[in-house]
Structure 1
Amino acid sequence: MGTPLMETVYKAASEGKWDLMKEAYDEEHDMYVMSPITVSEDTPLHLAVYSKKVQPLKALLDIADKNPMLGNPCTKENAYGNTVLHEAVFAGNMEAVEHLLQFTPKEQGNYHPSMQLETENALGETPLYRAASCGKKEIVEYLVIKMKQISEGELLKNHRRRGYLEKEKNENSEKVDLKPILHAAIEGQHFETALTLLKRDPSLGDMKDEQGRTCLHLLAEMPSAFKSGYAMPKYSIRNLIYCCLSASNGDDDQSKSKKGWQVGRIQKEKDKHESALKLAQELIERNKRHWWQSINVVGPNKVTIETPGQGGRGRQSEGQKGGRNPGEGGGKGVDPGEGGGKGGQRVDPIPLFIAISNGIEEIAKEILEKFPQGVELVNETGQNIMHVAVMHRRLEIYSYVKKTFKSIMIRLSSRIDNNGYTLLHHVAHMKHYRGGTKPSPALKLQEEIQWFKRVQRAIPPSLSEKRVWVQRAIPPSLSEQWVQTPREVPPDNEGMQRWKELTALDLFQEEHKDQLKLAQEWIEKTSQSCSAVAVLLATVVFAAAYTIPGGSNDLGFPIFLHNRFFLAFTVLDVIALASSLTSVVMFLSILTSPFEYENFYHNIPRKLILGFILLFFSVMTTMLAFACTLFLIIHFRKKWTTGLISFAAFFPVTVFALMQFHLYFSFLSTMKDLFKEAGEYLPRYCCPFRCQRYKR
């Protein structure tokens, strides 16, 4: 085929001028209709399906059918092994798919249109597999039902996995990805398509990929597919819109776009979350009987687990056999949250624990509702659901378990894992810490201390002082109290592997040294800056008190003495001065406070929030006093002037409030504690509606 024709056809296809593309293959050039026109060896037939219509493809197929010597257009492959049907499926062109499966070329022997469904591309994907991986739900239903690609309730063998038939033929078989079809749909987050496949063939839910993961494992690793993992502030306009929207029930993208760009985007996210939840519910219902465990006690606080029906989960690993002293076994992985050593058989991860570690509340709660015994499941290191929730700081799941399984909470919280670590040691450790939910270093440290206090109240008092051996890389010159084990080798050129027996509090203070330093620096800089602003405001309002609006009469009395705006100006000026000076006192008290761990629990955050509130109140009253002064001067001569002054007065206050809203919201938990404590000490007649003691 000549270069000018290739350029003409490709340009016509790129611009969507399908009639021009058809006209290019007139009687003189019809022999080139199946010749490649792209570097990927796509023919015009491959490109015609992207028109979203059937006419361009139909016209080109008719041209190709007039030249039987060119071969079968339906079996023509590009460089990736994709036939025209593969490309039609990828483009989502339903009409083209139907036409291709009904098209029978002339003089093609025993060829049958359904043979197209058995053709695999270079990745071992059939058209049905490709449709599922691309989320083409309508095409999947058509191929499964109309084209009868299901037999006795199961998909045909070559559709169930990618490259299933090629593994035996491929000498380098370890490079062949045998991903099941349902896994492909889930990885692409096409949950409606996955639900369609699962309902047609329930056995797909039991299939595993080459890493041994089921579909539920994949879902448990996708926090963005659920509302709990969606990055959306609780108190925001987006969250309000999200809550007000209902499921679209399969509405197309065009109907969503009519709602507006942002609303349509939120609607799309909500549909995805609800579809993922439905799929998770189906998979949990089908798999709940597979999670039963047989726990064998092999020593003090040490267990091994087996799962009946899954071939046994093996014996205890070498890292779990070690003693608590640094010279007794122990192996590697002695930090809280780490697994055992290299010995023993591989233990399949539990979807419940994967969901908790990723913060997917929906899956965790659904599993516990349908399989309540799951609350007592343990992993290969003897950690139960509370250990995992605490390690990864999943407050919602921790609170849910504590509230739902209140009667056995003492048993769950008393569990010690195979390495000898309690819940409190897992809180103290920062291996799985992901930055917390608060916006500033001081509040992040407060959040960590709150976690420590929360868990400390939940566990038996005897476990609070339990000591465990902890292994660290510490330069010998920095700590003579650390015990060196001769058998350990240096991890690097800077230090040796050393051990020390620590309580949870000791471990917490050691792990959070850097966080404490950041919090100290942040709180010091913030207090200095805010106190400087508060002093400046106090200076302004103090000077304004001696500058009487409108002046004074001969007797020294203000001219506007009896005007209501003069009274408002006086009151607001006094309030602004008092609040600004009080905020200065609060920030100075922070600067003079000892920056220790315990002070970051309540003392410093409370002073900081009070200082911020007073500073905000000072800014607001200062602007209102300014507005009252202008109202006295202009006497409301023009309405638009009044509106402009009101806008000018409230604009900086509004901006200040919006910019610091996230910080105020973060202080709510601190203020709740303050109000709860006040309610405990005040008499009932002073606080008749006081709440019961606040528990977390």
Structure 2
Amino acid sequence: MDATKEHNLKTNKTLYEAMMDQNDDEVIRICRGIAKGALHTLTIHGDTVLHVAIYQKQTKLALRLLDMVPPSDNYKLTWTNHGGNTVLHETGTNNKTVPVAEEILRRAPMLLDMTNREGETALFYAARHGKTKPYMFLHDEFCKGIDGQDLTDLLRRDDRFTMLHLAVLSRNYRVAYDIAVNHNDLIPEKDAEGMTALQLLSIIQPEIKPKSSFKRFMFKLVQSDPNPPRYIIHDIKRLKKEKYASEWALKLAVLLIEKDNSWKMTESWTENRGSRFRDYKAEQKTITTLEGSHDLNADTPLLLATRFDSTDIVKEILRMYPQAVEHVDKEGHSVLHLAILHRRIEIIDIVENMKFPLERLRGKLDKNYNTLLHMVGYKEDHLKEDIRHPAKELKDDQLLYKRVEKLTTTLDKSTRNAEQKTPLQVFYEANEQLRTEAKDWMVENATNCSIVAVLIATVAFTSAYQVPGGPDDFGHPKLKDKSMFVLFTLADAISLSTALTSVIVFLNIATSPFHFKDFESHLFEKQLLGLILLITSVAMMMVAFAATLVLTISNKGKWSDLTLYVVSFFPVLVFMYSYLSYYMDMIVNSFRELKKMIGQTVIWFRKIWEYKPQSTHPIDGLGYSRSRSPV
């Protein structure tokens, strides 16, 4: 017995290695010497040789192994591994084994409705793995074999997950769309956690429309393709696949939003709100976060999409059902409450442009009597990981507070929540530690930049007295008639003046009292000004350095001079990229506000230009002419 086991282990080792090396001839030779042949158990999980060949996408080998199975042994194709998967199940794991599935079903059609230990048919298995070609083939075979019978049990797993749920989770939106079209009764079905397919789609954040302008431009240049040719560059392949996925994600989202009526279900604005004059001290509640005990399946798809930043889903829902904007969750949070809590600025923009719904949402309170302004003081913990430094985080929160303040009513500014706190109190208490961190960061940053600026000023000041080429016998620079010398002088002077000015700005920052209003009004702008001056100083110092090199060692060759310029300015580019990236949002916001102001100014002037005074005479208002005499 031991000798037999040892022999089987050696055989399995040799056979497994041959399959890993894709040595088909060796695999066939070994299988012919085994009693079970292609159905020999190879792995510790009960997979046969045919199972493994199919899973490894070795289509030719799998067909050759099937030829080794005599017609009288076709029933043995129903053998399963320890997970209950038949060889037909394994064809659903990749797109290259459809011919193998055809041959298997020709030999053993009973495999079509066999399920594994989780209650999955081969069709279900293909949908779970997100493989389009085997799913399409098996679905056609299902429709032929079932002959109009009810597929309900075959489209659901034992744990209540449907085929549509798992296709959405596998991110194969093409398969999910086909399932939703052919089996629309699955659309309102809920999984084991009480989630519909639309709710799951809202959570997984499908990229329907790329947020990057560069990516949107690239999408216009390439054709969508789920299986691009091998000879195409890897990045182009990825773009083709991503465009294909985004197109089908949009189709799926539109279909699910249209057919899924779960958006109609929402909590009441007033349910369990209690009295506004009760004793709040006995009830100290705070915002329930995602990391806490919040029940996600109780939220509508709109609220879930807001929580998980699926902006495109929010747009589509509000486009089809604008009345869904009034959804609230069990905590009484509206879509605006959640957008502010999770800092979903784009979603705030969408709701803000819906003028009438905004009027209905602006004064709403949640069940802890938090207004929209209160929500600015709260923040999910995971958002802090996206912020590069505390000063910018505090500045962004202050800008958001000012923006929300314009949206809310005057009463909201003094409304107290269940903890008897006004919005401003909540904001200050929540951001006190952040203010301290921002203060330390800005002082340290200002100190370090001041040291750099002083060093640059010292170098620039020294360079002014040690000009390139040296002085002549009369103390005048020898190279003063050269055009590059003028450039050197100007660059050195600008470098010195901007460096000293930046020192003054950074000292002003370091000695600031760092009140909350200071961060909102001028501190961040001063730091940006100081950095711009410092970058200018470094840039001018590099210009002076390049001019000196050209004056002293240039051989009047264009390529050599160009090389000198590139080498000289490289540190400037690195410096600018390292620091200005922190402030890009503020620069972009500044341009955005400027654009809005210009647009409003244009509208104002257009109204003045098109204004036509109308008569206020009472007779004119009745449509009579002034010249007409009354009867």
Contact residue 247 and residue 270 of structure 1 kept, 8 A:
no
- Separation in 2 of the partners of 1:677 and 1:129? 52
Matching residue within 277, 280, 292 for 2:264: 292
Alignment equivalent of 2:418, drawn from 463, 469, 474: 469
Once residues 300 and 148 of structure 2 are traced to their aligned partners in structure 1, the CA distance between those partners, rounded to angstroms, is 28
Cα displacement string for residues 538-575 of structure 1 (whole angstroms, at most 9, x for unaligned residues)? 01001111112212233332222222111111111111
Specify whether residues 620 and 52 from structure 1 end up closer, same or farther in structure 2 by C-alpha distance, changes over 3 A only: same
In 2 relative to 1, CA 157–358 (structure 1 residues): closer, same or farther, beyond 3 Å? same
Measure how far apart 1:678 and its partner are. 11
Q: Specify the SS of the correspondent of 1:579.
A: helix
Distance of aligned partners of 1:197 and 1:250 in 2 relative to their CA distance in 1, 3 Å threshold: farther
Cα 1:609/1:98, change in 2 over 3 Å: same
Kindly provide the CA deviation profile for residues 52-104 of structure 1, in whole angstroms up to 9, marking residues without a partner as x.
354433333333317x4x6723101111111111112224311110110112x
- Counterpart secondary structure, 1:538: helix
- Once the two structures are superposed, the pairs formed by residues 200-599 of structure 1 within 5 Å of their partners are 200-223=182-205, 225-226=206-207, 234=212, 240-246=214-220, 251-255=225-229, 257-287=230-260, 289-292=261-264, 303-304=270-271, 316=272, 320-321=273-274, 325-326=278-279, 330=283, 334-336=285-287, 348-403=298-353, 405-431=354-380, 434-435=383-384, 438-470=387-419, 501-599=420-518
Range with greater deviation from structure 2 (16-25 or 604-613): 16-25
Q: 1:59 to 1:291 in 2, by over 3 A?
A: closer
Distance (whole Å) between structure 2 residues aligned to residue 420 and residue 251 of structure 1: 51
* SS of equivalent residue, structure 2 residue 270: strand
Q: What is aligned with 1:171? A: none
Instruction: Give unmatched runs, 5+ long, in structure 2.
Output: 606-631
1:96 aligns with one of 100, 104, 112: 100
Identify the residue that residue 309 of structure 1 maps to in structure 2.
none
Question: Secondary structure of the residue that 1:435 maps to in structure 2?
Answer: helix
CA-CA distance at 1:387 after TM superposition = 1.4
Take 1:89 and 1:676, find their aligned partners in 2: how far apart are those partners? 53
Q: Which moved more, 1:417-426 or 1:579-588?
A: 417-426
Tell me the TM-score normalized by structure 1.
Answer: 0.78
Is 1:132 the equivalent of 2:105?
no
- Tell whether 2:144 aligns with 1:143: no
Structure 1 568/202 Cα, relative in aligned 2: closer, same or farther at 3 Å? same
Question: What is the letter of the counterpart of residue 335 of structure 1?
Answer: T
Aligned residues of 1:609 and 1:667 also touching (Cα < 8 A): no
Residue pair 1:258, 1:264 contacting (<8 A) in 2 also:
no
Instruction: Please state if 1:198 is matched with 2:188.
Output: no
Q: Give the corresponding residue for 2:26.
A: 20
Aligned counterparts, 1:622-637, within 5 A: 622-637=541-556
Supply the distance in 2 between the matched residues of 1:87 and 1:293 (Cα, whole angstroms).
Answer: 40
Answer yes or no: is the 8 Å Cα contact 2:263–2:301 preserved in 1. Answer: no
Contact 1:179 1:210 in 2 (8 A): yes
Alignment of 1:186 with 2:186, yes or no, is no
CA gap 1:677/1:85 in 2 versus in 1, 3 angstroms: closer
1:150 positional shift = 8.2
> Distance between the aligned counterparts of 2:383 and 2:374, measured in 1?
17
CA gap of 1:321–1:564, structure 2 versus 1, over 3 A, is same
Do the aligned partners of 1:241 and 1:263 also contact (CA within 8 Å) in 2? no
CA distance in 2, matches of 1:286, 1:657: 51
**Aligned twin of 1:497:** none
Instruction: State the identity as a percent.
Output: 30
Contact 1:154-1:203 at 8 Å conserved across structures? no
- Matches of 1:140 and 1:664 in 2, distance apart? 49
- Tell me how far 1:406 sits from its aligned partner: 1.7
2:83 matches 1:116: no
Inter-partner Cα distance in structure 1 for 2:595 and 2:70: 83
* Separation in structure 2 between the aligned mates of residue 151 and residue 77 of structure 1, nearest angstrom: 23
The separation in 2 between residues aligned to 1:79 and 1:248, in whole angstroms, is 44
SS in 1 for 2:286: coil
What letter matches 1:303 in structure 2? Answer: T
Partner of 2:49: 44
Asked if structure 2 preserves the Cα contact closer than 8 Å seen for 1:322 and 1:328, the reply is no
Structure 1 residue 643: Cα displacement = 2.8
After superposition, what is the alpha-carbon deviation per residue over 1:487-522, rounded to whole angstroms, capped at 9, x for unaligned? xxxxxxxxxxxxxx2111111111111211111111
CA contact (8 A) 2:46 2:82 kept: yes
Q: Deviations over 1:577-604 (max 9, x none)?
A: 1111111111111011111111111311
SS at match of 1:417: coil
- Counterpart of 1:307 in structure 2 is none
Q: Which amino acid aligns with 1:358?
A: F
Q: Distance in 2 between matches of 1:607 and 1:205?
A: 55
Which segment is superposed worse, 454-463 or 150-159?
150-159
Give the aligned residue type for 1:194. Answer: A
Go from structure 1 to structure 2 and tell me whether the alpha carbon gap of 1:246 and 1:674 turns closer, same or farther (over 3 Å shift). Answer: closer
Counterpart residue type for residue 207 of structure 2: F
Shift in Å, 1:196 = 1.6
Q: Say which SS state the counterpart of residue 514 (structure 2) adopts.
A: coil
Over 3 Å counting, the alpha-carbon distance change for 1:449 and 1:147 in structure 2 is same
3-state SS of paired residue (2:117): coil
Give, in whole Å, the separation in 2 of the partners of 1:673 and 1:514: 30
What letter matches 1:286 in structure 2?
Answer: K
Equivalent residue of 1:178, what SS? coil
- Over aligned residues, Cα RMSD in angstroms? 3.1
Counterparts in 2 of 1:155 and 1:677: CA distance versus 1, 3 Å: closer
- Paired positions, count: 592
Out of 80, 84, 89, the position equivalent to 2:83 is 80
Structure 1 letter corresponding to 2:356 = S
CA pair 666-250 structure 1, distance change in 2 beyond 3 A = closer
The letter for the 2-side match of 1:24 is I
Q: What are the superposed Cα offsets for residues 618-668 of structure 1, whole Å, 9 maximum, x if unpaired?
A: 111101111111212235344443233112211111221222241131331
SS at match of 1:291: helix
Please state which structure has a larger fraction of its residues in helix: 2
Distance in 1 (CA, whole Å) between partners of 2:356 and 2:455 is 57
Give the CA deviation at 1:141. 1.3
Query: Structure 1 stretch 375-384 or stretch 542-551: which is displaced more?
Result: 375-384
Higher strand share: 1
Aligned position for 1:34:
39
Quote the Cα distance in structure 2 between the aligned partners of 1:142 and 1:193: 12
The one-letter amino acid paired with 2:270 is V
Aligned 8 A contact 1:582 1:614 in 2: yes
Q: Are the counterparts in 2 of residues 467 and 502 from structure 1 also a CA contact under 8 Å? A: yes
Shifted more, 141-150 versus 192-201: the winner is: 141-150
Q: Which residue of 2 aligns with 1:10?
A: 16
The 3 A distance-change label for structure 1 pair 418 and 619 is same
Q: Cα offset for 1:408?
A: 4.1
| 361-370 or 320-329, larger mean C-alpha shift | 320-329
Q: Give the alignment partner of residue 607 of structure 1, picking from 519, 526, 549.
A: 526
